[in-house]
Structure 1
Amino acid sequence: MTSGGYKPVNTVRHTTTTVSKRKRSSISDSSNIHEPLHRPHSSLAPGPNRKPSKSSRRRRRIRNERISSSVERQWVFSPSDSRNLKDKLVLVSYNLLGVDNASNHMDLYYNIPSQHLDWNRRKHLICKEISRYNATILCLQEVDRFDDLDSLLKNRGFQGVHKRRTGEASDGCSVFWKEKLFKLLHHQEIEFNRFGLRNNVAQLCVLEMNCEDPESKLREQSSEQTSTSPRRLVVGNIHVLFNPKRGDIKLGQVRLLLERAYKLSQEWGNIPVAIAGDLNSTPESAIYDFVASADLDTQLHDRRQISGQCEIETNQRSFRNHYAVSASQTNEWSQEELQLATGGQTSTHVRHQLKLNSAYAGVPGTHRTRDQCGEPLATTCHSKFQGTVDYIWHTKELVPLKVLETLPTDVLRRTRGLPSEKWGSDHLAIACELGFVSE
């Protein structure tokens, strides 16, 4: 969905999008106008004297959980020839659902059994899941129990760095890497509040592939291959502000991360870049298009709709998003908003110098899990939203060899929201294998 004259470069899917996750206490219950994820058909809805019993509801929930738990996520491989790509890595991006965020917003999880929200259970589910994907680099968001994760992931061979959000929030971002396969050369923290861009944070890490580990499966060099300099890359990790009304701040945060990533890449010899995280923006949004096309004219968009929120229609009933803007309103940006979005540039355009491609859009999927752009149909699912806000981007020096499909939307609906018996967060991990293009 678009507004204010915005016409995305890519073909977009025609599903309805709304707010991804409510993280601001100022949003009142009166804004909860969205349809529930699981609503019975009118012909099956109970009448005045036909209310389902508690036991029948419990049996239905258990049956749906068993169905959804039996579905395995599959790797989908690129049709391109990758035989010459010897140096590979598996990057996983995962919003873990902060413990404090979950407890402060229980209205998003009212139909989730309490044991599925228990961190002591979820942390083990998450770590076991990561192990199944043979991940080598992790970009994690909403981490507010870093010590727990650090301990569990160390047992699996990972080393990591963490950056907590500024302000009162307790969660932050973490990057982990397999210690035998990579070493950290540089870690840069971005505190967006230093630029007037709220208390969110981001990370940039320069990682070098370890060529000396004889057990490393990332380097499959033949005896005839000549030695080259070690593979290095910049890994960016971000959790963008949620508030849809402040598209200027969202855009400013994304812009600043991409500027810093490009600069760091140049400083280390024009090395490849991979960016992952929760952008709190949908695939049909102007922010998504900015990342993909490297240019955005702010004057064509209303900042309150720039991340994908807009007026929607569901089942022939009209709803207005709490943050939606009527068509009569203009796309006016104040000088302060322009400075936050563009970094103080005199132009109303926002640009970045990285040429980024989406890992998922680069590997064809199926209509059950992908939109028409190739992005997942859903990377997060709770009582107020089912849709995509999580992404992995990469420069041309990296090629996606396979991606981990998300769950079909009908399976997600059966869960009645995440976390569930099998999945430890209200987001699904997204993952891809990237190969370094031969020099």
Structure 2
Amino acid sequence: MCIPTAVPTNVQSVLSRIKMIEHPTSGEESKLGLYNFKVATWNVLADGYTFPNYYSHCTAALNWSTRFPLIIQHIGRADPDILCLQEADHWDEYKRALNLMGYKTLYLKRSGCRRDGCAICVKRKKIKIVERKCIYFNSLCELPFEDASRIQRDSVALVAVLQPIVRRRQLNDDGSERLNEEAAAHQPTKFCVATTHIFWDPQYEDVKCRQVHYLMVKLEQFWKKAKNLILCGDFNSPPTSAIIEFLRKGKVDLRTWDLDMIPGNRQLKPCHGWSSLGLIQPAFEKQPKQASNSGNHRRYSSLFLRLKSPILRHKFQFQSVYQCYRKHMEWLSKGRTLSTDCEKKVFTQRYKGKIYEPLITSHFSQFSGTLDYIFVANGVRPVRYLQLPSEVELMKIGPLPTDTFASDHLMLMCEIHLEN
């Protein structure tokens, strides 16, 4: 049963607050609305991962029959047009509920015996699904790495090509129809959304680096454009990690990093997989695993060499939607606004390239920090984003989930403008 808490209901209400704030980089052209959509990502905490030793503060709140209605209610309050979920199990229940809410859903269960997976859900009246792509990170084991068992972590990524549904005729107030001239003049552009849940353990940081690098390689192969891409999910990496720097900057050379700092926070327990990326000399030389088929070996050789390199690269120019969030909140708390283009220019120039992500997107007894992100490439412009509970508010509330909030992760959401 739940341990009694002194936290008042009005404090806990910030967890269910849906307040969108104008983004510092938004422009007038991005407020037109024809190609504007709300995109949300949320790790909903799989029923299979509600371990009592992690969530002993409120065991009754872990019951699936209690949590699932709260999850659906929160999604309904946020009402995103595109919803990306991680750690979604009991998928039949999600699918039925989301279908009633007007969503068409795609789902990819994790490999092996795992019961949870990733999902992309879109409002069927606004967006159509053109194509899907499933990425299984266990496919890395087919490459001639010597540590295949270490790599096999059952993680996945789900990718979808989407296209806006634009109604070319609109109703007048008197019920008659008129031509939507802007819609008639343009063929809606396609765009790509990808979501993933990267492996969690910092002692396997080499595996996490490979997973994210492999994801970017597969995205480059699947989505040939360098723009109109949204990538979101639980990357299990703080903002100061090499993985997030790689996504933000398009390149990271792990040889230039202190090995203990690659995960973003100095680790007390070492990662033992760096030799496979050439960062340390192994204790004894291993022969690379021989591919079972020489033809496969030739076919995979360029991919293998790229993933074995300590230099990680990708072609997308990503912006993290929440990158300057904390500084933005500071400005607002001091009564300053970003209501004009001039003010926005000053703000973005001052903090360009600096990291002020939210301090907390995941908050439970074993961990409190930022692990979740929304990245957008060229052609996708943030217009507004969801205000999150502050670290002060979360510390007053205590560990998540609670009897009113169903996950140990916060939902991130932004309204984006898609350039046509």
Q: TM-score, normalised by structure 2?
A: 0.77
Once residues 226 and 375 of structure 2 are traced to their aligned partners in structure 1, the CA distance between those partners, rounded to angstroms, is 17
| Alpha-carbon contact 1:142-1:171 (below 8 Å) kept | yes
2:305 pairs with one of 324, 330, 344: 344
**Which amino acid is the alignment partner of residue 291 of structure 1?**
L
Superposition map of 1:201-212 within 5 A = 201-212=156-167
Partner of 2:242: 286
Structure 1 residues 213 and 416: CA distance shift in structure 2, 3 A: farther
What value does the CA root-mean-square deviation take over the aligned residues? 3.2
SS at match of 1:366: helix
| Alpha-carbon contact 1:247-1:304 (below 8 Å) kept | no
2:373 pairs with one of 386, 391, 395: 391
1:76 pairs with one of 21, 26, 29: 21
SS at match of 1:154: helix
Moved more, 191-200 or 86-95: 191-200
Gaps of 5+ in 2: 142-150, 172-178, 273-277, 290-299, 334-350
Q: Please list the CA deviations of residues 140-183 of structure 1 after superposition, one character each: whole Å capped at 9, or x if unmatched.
A: 00011111111111110001111111122211111111111111
1:90 pairs with one of 38, 43, 57: 38
**Which amino acid is the alignment partner of residue 262 of structure 2?**
I
Query: Equivalent pairs: percent with the same residue?
Result: 25
Moved more, 240-249 or 390-399: 240-249
Q: Please list the CA deviations of residues 236-266 of structure 1 after superposition, one character each: whole Å capped at 9, or x if unmatched.
A: 0100011111212111111122222233222
Partner of 2:56: 110
Structure 1 residues 175 and 304: CA distance shift in structure 2, 3 A: farther
Once residues 256 and 124 of structure 1 are traced to their aligned partners in structure 2, the CA distance between those partners, rounded to angstroms, is 36
Superposition map of 1:346-365 within 5 A = 347-361=309-323, 365=328
SS at match of 1:400: strand
The count of aligned residue pairs is 358
**Which amino acid is the alignment partner of residue 35 of structure 2?**
D
Partner of 1:8: none
**Which amino acid is the alignment partner of residue 206 of structure 1?**
V
Determine which structure has the larger helix proportion and give its number.
2
**Which amino acid is the alignment partner of residue 310 of structure 1?**
R
SS at match of 2:209: helix
- Does residue 360 of structure 2 align to residue 378 of structure 1? yes
Partner of 2:129: 184
Superposition map of 1:288-367 within 5 A = 288-301=244-257, 305-311=261-267, 321-323=268-270, 331-332=279-280, 343-345=304-306, 347-361=309-323, 365-367=328-330
| Alpha-carbon contact 2:167-2:183 (below 8 Å) kept | no
Q: TM-score, normalised by structure 1?
A: 0.74
Q: Please list the CA deviations of residues 400-421 of structure 1 after superposition, one character each: whole Å capped at 9, or x if unmatched.
A: 0111121111221222211113
Once residues 208 and 168 of structure 2 are traced to their aligned partners in structure 1, the CA distance between those partners, rounded to angstroms, is 41
Superposition map of 1:72-221 within 5 A = 72-79=17-24, 80-84=26-30, 85=32, 86-102=34-50, 105-112=51-58, 114-196=59-141, 197-198=151-152, 199-212=154-167
Once residues 281 and 11 of structure 2 are traced to their aligned partners in structure 1, the CA distance between those partners, rounded to angstroms, is 45
Once residues 274 and 154 of structure 1 are traced to their aligned partners in structure 2, the CA distance between those partners, rounded to angstroms, is 23
| Alpha-carbon contact 2:381-2:417 (below 8 Å) kept | yes
Q: Please list the CA deviations of residues 86-133 of structure 1 after superposition, one character each: whole Å capped at 9, or x if unmatched.
A: 31111100001000111xx22110112x33112222222112211222
1:274 pairs with one of 213, 230, 237: 230
Structure 1 residues 368 and 420: CA distance shift in structure 2, 3 A: farther
**Which amino acid is the alignment partner of residue 332 of structure 1?**
I
- Does residue 175 of structure 2 align to residue 227 of structure 1? no
Q: Please list the CA deviations of residues 285-315 of structure 1 after superposition, one character each: whole Å capped at 9, or x if unmatched.
A: 111101001111121236664222315xxxx
> CA shift at 1:226, angstroms?
5.1
SS at match of 1:208: strand
| Alpha-carbon contact 1:93-1:392 (below 8 Å) kept | yes
